[in-house]
Amino acid sequence: MTKYNIQSILDFLKSSHISNGEFKSTPYKYKMFFKLFLINLLIVVLLSIVTGFLRLKFNISFKEVDLQLPMIWLLNLTMIPVLEEIAFRLPLIYKKNNIVLSFSAITYFTTSLLLADGALDISTNIYLRLIISVVIGVVIFFLLSLKSIENKISKFWETYSKLIFYVLLLLFTLGHIENYILTSITLLLMPILLLPQFIGGVFLSFIRTKFGFEYAILFHILINLFAFGPQIIMYLIH
């Protein structure tokens, strides 16, 4: 049976070899899944200490969201991880529907930056953003329904799978810039501040391709749960 560890992640990052699942034994799959989750959690905790120190030292602030805390937590434990996995991990394995859903989700994130105050802003131009996202998805669906175009896209995906992996990883990482109030020092330190998201994106891509898409969603939700857990506990205590 395949055993995964930190070296497996490093090898994946170098090769980004895409394979559609490798496990048949569910108990062993869960064992490897939680092993990788604990490795990722340890790395993220260590990186968060560094980024936390930088935020304090240089007075770097997170952008405030005009929502009640429970709603922020709910969205970050449901809608946001699902949409991010659809946008940035689902299309790692080529299928027409994967591409359609991915483009729709990416459009939602893009319009949320252009027409609202980020993806967590579920009030400003929300219907317009959703309509645009659906329209883009429908257009992509009909384009891929043309056999000549679909054949070219599928061949491109197969030929340049490594490039697609890195583009999606970069988009996922850079998308988290919206979490911060942008200043010159924030932009200068951004490669370090976004390192937890970059590492998380690598693990999530690995989980998606080796375990399956639903496991990537679960992995992402668990990461967010641990990230917001202390804040949620303090809120409930008080």
What is the DSSP-derived secondary structure letter of residue 211? T
Please write the tens of the pLDDT for every residue from 174-193.
999 999 998 999 999 999 99
Q: Which two tokens stand for residue 227?
A: 């990230």
pLDDT at 16: 60
pLDDT at 110: 96
Residue 94 has pLDDT above 80, yes or no: yes
Q: Which two tokens stand for residue 148?
A: 């000549």
Please write the tens of the pLDDT for every residue from 121-167.
988 999 999 999 999 999 999 999 999 999 999 999 999 999 999 99
Residue with the larger pLDDT of the pair 21 and 97: 97
Please write the tens of the pLDDT for every residue from 195-229.
999 999 999 999 999 899 999 999 999 999 999 98
pLDDT at 139: 98
Cβ neighbours, 10 Å, residue 138: 12
pLDDT at 200: 96
> DSSP states of 76-94 as a string?
HHTHHHHHHHHHHTGGGS-
d(CA 174, CA 159): 25
Residue 1 has pLDDT above 60, yes or no: no
Does pTM surpass 0.85?
yes
Average pLDDT of every residue of the chain: 91
Asked if 107 and 133 touch (Cβ cutoff 8 Å), the reply is yes
Share of the chain above pLDDT 70, in %: 95
Please write the tens of the pLDDT for every residue from 32-90.
899 999 999 999 999 999 999 999 999 999 988 888 889 999 999 999 999 999 999 99
pLDDT at 52: 92
- The residues facing 180 across adjacent strands are 62
pLDDT at 237: 85
- The residues facing 86 across adjacent strands are none
